[in-house]
């Protein structure tokens, strides 16, 4: 009988669900949002429908991400560092360093034999995260998706000197009023975020190959700006938002296989596909 494993990654901005057996059968990416914070079950239902499976068919569920405690139907919660490491090691085995740029934090992970052995995180300042570009895009009246492409059109990249997201947004407005070209400002913003991320990750002694994951990896301008800092090209998984969820599903599979090998009976959570109860 086939075994199916689910990984649920509740990030600050997006919720991701993956259902796997040997390969990914279905995946769903949806916004986390204030209301959806407790609705991981809805995203899970969507993924199950895509995979044509019922919840009872799932052998093991691992939740990860900052909202992992809000997944009442998970069998286990595992940190996003471990899940990203496992996911990247599976998708891109040659990778030794992962840079994950999320909506509200960014992190660097050092891998050895497929496991995280060191990490750094920026959860203090929005200036090194996706939020920085989000705020700037709003200020510039440009869609977030277009920011990366526009940054590559710059001819005279400007320097954004403010290290605070809010003040950087003000600086952007000032530059606009000075008549600086939009693409030059956007390139400056990408450079600013790349400097901060690179400064954080180099604490790990970066080793090639380097993979870029998270929403930031979908931004070609940021990829190029980071490559310029690193001095070599980075690898980006086919769907960089899903590495954590894939890693979670794979770790679930590892747990089940390890238990079977040892002849142990797994203690499973009393799983029901319900929404999380918050603030009780």
Nearer to another protein, 114 or 233 (CB): 114
When asked if residue 259 is in the footprint of another protein (CB under 8 A), the reply is no
Nearer to another protein, 102 or 188 (CB): 102
Nearer to another protein, 123 or 227 (CB): 123
Contacts (CB under 8 A) with another protein, residues 103-122 = 105, 112-113, 115-121
Q: What is the 3-state secondary structure (H, E, C) of the chain?
A: CCCEEEEEEECCCEEEEEEECCCEEEEEEEECCCCHHHCHHHHHHHHHHHHCCCHHHEEEEEEECCCHHHCCCCCEECCHHHHHHHHHHHHCCCCCEEEEECCCCEEEEEEECCEEEEEEEECCCHHHCHHHHHHHHHHHCCCHHHHHHHHCCCCCCCCCCCCCHHHHHHHHHHHHHCCCCHHHHHHHHHHHHHHHHHHHHHHHCCCCCEEEECHHHHCHHHHHHHHHHHCCCCECCCCCCCHHHHHHHHHHHHHHHHHHHHCCCCCCCCCCCCCCCCCC
When asked if residue 249 is in the footprint of another protein (CB under 8 A), the reply is no
Check if the beta carbon of residue 39 is closer than 8 Å to that of residue 274.
no
Task: Name the minimum Å distance from CB 131 to another protein.
Answer: 14
Nearer to another protein, 5 or 66 (CB): 66
Residue matched to tokens 């492409």: 149
Q: Which stretch binds another protein (CB under 8 A): 52-60, 75-83, 183-191, 225-233?
A: 75-83
Task: Name the minimum Å distance from CB 220 to another protein.
Answer: 29
Residue matched to tokens 């986390």: 32
Task: Name the minimum Å distance from CB 125 to another protein.
Answer: 10
Contacts (CB under 8 A) with another protein, residues 195-234 = 203
Nearer to another protein, 108 or 148 (CB): 108
- Residue 210: phi and psi, rounded to 5, are -115, 130
Nearer to another protein, 100 or 239 (CB): 100
Check if the beta carbon of residue 108 is closer than 8 Å to that of residue 120.
yes
Q: Which of 5, 66, 73, 198 binds another protein (CB under 8 A)?
A: 66
When asked if residue 80 is in the footprint of another protein (CB under 8 A), the reply is yes
- How big is the site for another protein, counted in residues (CB under 8 A)? 19
Q: Which of 78, 168, 201, 206 binds another protein (CB under 8 A)?
A: 78
Task: Name the minimum Å distance from CB 249 to another protein.
Answer: 17
Contacts (CB under 8 A) with another protein, residues 155-194 = none
Nearer to another protein, 63 or 136 (CB): 63
N residues, the chain: 280
Residues binding another protein (CB under 8 A): 66, 78-82, 105, 112-113, 115-121, 123-124, 203
């Amino acid at each position: 009988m086939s075994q199916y494993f689910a990984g649920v990654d509740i990030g600050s901005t997006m919720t991701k669900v993956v259902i796997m057996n040997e390969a990914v059968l279905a995946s769903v990416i949806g916004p986390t949002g204030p209301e959806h914070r407790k609705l991981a079950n809805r995203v899970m239902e969507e993924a199950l429908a895509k995979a044509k499976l019922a919840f009872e068919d799932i052998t093991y569920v691992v939740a990860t991400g900052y909202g992992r405690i809000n997944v009442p139907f998970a069998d286990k919660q595992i940190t996003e560092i471990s899940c990203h490491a496992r996911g990247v090691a599976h998708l891109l085995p040659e990778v030794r360093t992962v840079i994950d740029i999320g909506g509200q934090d960014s992190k660097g992970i050092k891998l050895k034999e497929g496991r995280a052995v060191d990490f750094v995180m920026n959860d203090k300042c929005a200036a090194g995260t996706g939020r920085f570009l989000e705020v700037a895009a709003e200020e510039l009246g440009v869609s977030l998706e277009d920011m990366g492409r526009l940054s590559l059109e710059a001819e005279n990249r400007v320097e954004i000197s403010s290290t605070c997201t809010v003040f950087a947004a003000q600086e952007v407005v000032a530059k606009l009023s000075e008549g600086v070209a939009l693409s030059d400002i956007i390139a400056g913003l990408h450079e600013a975020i790349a400097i901060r991320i690179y400064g954080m990750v180099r604490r790990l002694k970066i080793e090639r190959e380097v993979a870029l994951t998270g929403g930031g990896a979908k931004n070609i301008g940021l990829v190029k700006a980071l490559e310029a800092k690193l001095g070599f090209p980075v690898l980006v998984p086919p769907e960089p938002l899903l590495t954590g969820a894939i890693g979670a599903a794979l770790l679930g599979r590892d747990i089940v296989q390890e238990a079977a090998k040892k002849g142990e009976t797994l203690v499973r959570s009393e799983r029901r596909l319900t929404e999380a109860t918050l603030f009780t």
